[in-house]
Structure 1
Amino acid sequence: MNQDRNVERAASLDCATLSDALDRLGIHGQCAWIKARADEFRLTGRAFTLLYGPASKPAGTVGDYIDDVPPGSVVVLDNGGREDVTVWGDILTEIAHRRGIAGTVIDGICRDVALCRKLGYPVFSRGHWMRTGKDRVQVEATGVVVSIGSVRVAPGDLVRGDADGVVVLPSAHEDAILDAAEEISRAEDAIRALAREGTRLDEARRQFGYHRLQSLKDSA
Structure 2
Amino acid sequence: MPLKPETRAKLKTVGTATVATALYKRGFRTQAIQDVHPLSPLQPTLVGEAFTLRYMPAREDLNGLEVFRDRAHPQRKAVEDCPPGAVLVMDSRKDARAASAGSILVTRLMQRGVAGVVTDGGFRDSTEIAQLGYCAYHHRPSAPTNLTLHQAIEINGPIGCGDAPVFPGDVILGDGDGVIVIPAHLADEIANEAVEMTAFEDFVTAEVRKGRSILGLYPPTDEKSLTDFAAWRKAVGR
What band does the TM-score fall into relative to the shorter chain? 0.7 to 0.9
Matched residue count: 209
Q: Residue 30 of structure 1 is aligned with which of 29, 32, 55?
A: 32
- Structure 1 gap ranges (5+): 210-220
Cross-structure match for 2:215: 202
Task: Give yes or no for contact 2:157–2:167 (8 Å, CA) kept in 1.
Answer: yes
Cα distance in 2 for residues equivalent to 1:99 and 1:208:
49
- Greater Rg over alpha carbons, structure: 2
Cross-structure match for 1:3: 4
Cα distance in 1 for residues equivalent to 2:165 and 2:210:
43
Give how far 1:163 is off.
0.9
Cα distance in 2 for residues equivalent to 1:119 and 1:26:
37
Give how far 1:205 is off.
2.5
Change (3 A) 1:207 1:110: same
Task: Give yes or no for contact 2:74–2:155 (8 Å, CA) kept in 1.
Answer: no
Cα distance in 1 for residues equivalent to 2:151 and 2:107:
21
Cross-structure match for 2:50: 47
Q: 2:116 matched to 1:94?
A: no
SS in 2 for 1:160: strand
Cα distance in 2 for residues equivalent to 1:158 and 1:207:
30
Give how far 1:173 is off.
1.9
Task: Give yes or no for contact 2:10–2:192 (8 Å, CA) kept in 1.
Answer: no
Q: 2:193 matched to 1:180?
A: yes
SS in 2 for 1:87: strand
Query: In percent, how many aligned pairs have the same letter?
Result: 29
Cα distance in 2 for residues equivalent to 1:168 and 1:45:
10
Cα distance in 1 for residues equivalent to 2:172 and 2:180:
6
Q: 2:111 matched to 1:110?
A: no
Q: 2:67 matched to 1:63?
A: no
SS in 1 for 2:10: helix
Cα distance in 2 for residues equivalent to 1:135 and 1:129:
12
Change (3 A) 1:110 1:175: same
Change (3 A) 1:139 1:191: same
Cross-structure match for 1:214: none
TM-score (structure 1 length as normaliser): 0.86
Cα distance in 2 for residues equivalent to 1:112 and 1:142:
23
Give how far 1:40 is off.
2.1
Deviations 1:93-118 (A, max 9, x none): 22112112111100211111122122
Cα distance in 1 for residues equivalent to 2:129 and 2:4:
27
Once superposed, what is the RMSD of the aligned Cα atoms?
A: 2.1
Amino acid in the other structure paired with 1:101: V
